[in-house]
Amino acid sequence: MFNDGNNQIPGQNEPGLDASGIMWYKDGIWCDSETDTDGDELPDCGELRYGSGAKVYVFTTQDGDNKRPATYGEVQGNNDFDGDGLKNGDEVSVLVEKPYNRPYLWVKSFPDSEDSDGDLVEDKIDPKPLYFQNTVVYDYEARERAILYATRWYNGYNEPKYVRYIDADCANFVSQCLHEAGIPMSGQGRTDGWHSYNLGQKSYLEYFESFSTYFKGIIFKSGRYNYDVSESWSMAKSNYDFFSTENYSLNTYEFFSKNEVLNAVKNGEITKGDLMYFEWNDETHHELSHATIISLAISNFLSDGPLLGYAAHTEARLHADLDTFFDGETAYSVHVIHLRDRMIVD
């Protein structure tokens, strides 16, 4: 017999109920602790207590040839159910909120899935492993497309498809290589996103005004077309700031000698299609002001050790040696962005 203070179950003169173990009652409904009528892995008593819209997530682990629900200790321990290199306890934890001692579940990612949000970015390298984000592939084939474009255009300009800068075209060239590899443009205006949109032909007045600024020593966008170009597309430092974010970059490095760079190539830390920026020292400050794309990265070339080359504008370069930079009197360091094989473009 059960009495909640207002109602007696069963009612007076009503037959008794068959019951075994723990039973649950609410609003005239009576159920045991095991029956799951709708088969959603949440027992009827759980839906009775938390509502029919409640969800349950059962973590599983391999037990011989079969999978079974994991115990609390297994989920919280140092096991790695999904083999993604993250310990279960680093992916999900039960914490206690003080001073009220209320428990709550902290979930960074699911311990039995390598890709919790299904966006094809593994949890261990996903900055937001529980939030699906749009991604774009920058794998071996995409990197090859970037270098094929660099090879085609390192000594020329792909006008009018892209803007051309007379005296400072390095970041613009790198951006073109990445876009031709499949990375989409985004945003509008100078400070939003990463883009270079052709807006159509200039009027004759606009053309002659821009032409006159060239003879005044002012860098300008050449040709008969107007463009909407972001700073992240066209300026080396802004380009570095954009692609060094966690959505695009796996790692960033700073090297102070050619040998340091070659060791990184040998160790597989940087590869073809990654981005490289030069920083000079003018005695008053360090300035990162030249963007390039790595066009060669071979860990052991003809048994003579690692080899690296880069492609660039404004001065045309293809498979250029780093001696062209480090032999300069004001050379300080090179910065390399090791790009993701799958970039997050949300």
Q: State whether 159 and 217 are in the same domain.
A: yes
Q: State whether 216 and 120 are in the same domain.
A: no
Instruction: Please name the amino acid found at residue 265.
Output: V
- Give the count of beta carbons closer than 10 Å to the beta carbon of residue 256: 13
Q: State whether 32 and 111 are in the same domain.
A: no
Provide the sign of the torsion angle of the four alpha carbons 41, 44, 47, 49, taken in this order: negative
Is residue 17 one of the residues assigned to a domain?
A: yes
Q: What is the pLDDT of residue 77?
A: 66
Q: State whether 228 and 246 are in the same domain.
A: yes
Q: State whether 68 and 210 are in the same domain.
A: no
Whether the upstream peptide bond of residue 129 has omega within 30° of 0, thus cis, is no
Q: What is the pLDDT of residue 156?
A: 95
Q: State whether 87 and 7 are in the same domain.
A: no
Q: State whether 184 and 306 are in the same domain.
A: yes
Instruction: Please name the amino acid found at residue 169.
Output: D
Is residue 88 one of the residues assigned to a domain?
A: yes
Domain of residue 261: give its range. 134-346
Q: State whether 281 and 164 are in the same domain.
A: yes
Q: Work out how many domains the chain is built from and give that number.
A: 3
- The last residue of a domain, from among 109, 133, 157: 133
Q: What is the DSSP string of 203-254?
A: PHHHHHHHHHHHHTT---B-SSEEEEE-HHHH-HHHHHHHHTSTTTEEEEEE
Q: What is the pLDDT of residue 119?
A: 83
Q: State whether 284 and 223 are in the same domain.
A: yes
Q: State whether 81 and 218 are in the same domain.
A: no
β-strand partners of 12: none
Model pTM score: 0.72
Q: State whether 229 and 307 are in the same domain.
A: yes
| Cα(147)–Cα(96) distance, integer angstroms | 53
- The last residue of a domain, from among 75, 99, 133: 133
Cα separation values, 253 from 122, 274, 278, 336, Å: 22, 11, 12, 5
Q: What is the pLDDT of residue 97?
A: 54
Phi and psi for 183 in degrees, rounded to 5? -80, 125
Q: Both tokens of residue 41?
A: 């892995």
Q: State whether 149 and 111 are in the same domain.
A: no
Is residue 55 one of the residues assigned to a domain?
A: no
- Long-range contacts, 318-325 (Cβ 8 Å, 24+): 318/150, 318/151, 318/154, 318/155, 319/295, 322/258, 322/261, 323/258, 325/278
Digit-coded pLDDT (tens) for 79-103 = 777 778 888 777 777 665 555 555 5
Is residue 269 one of the residues assigned to a domain?
A: yes
Which positions of the chain have pLDDT values less than 70?
1-13, 15-22, 25-28, 33, 40-42, 46, 49-59, 72, 75-78, 94-106, 202-223, 283-285, 303
CB hemisphere CA count around 333 (13 angstroms): 12
Contact call for residues 306 and 266 (beta carbons, < 8 A): yes
Phi and psi for 249 in degrees, rounded to 5? -110, 135
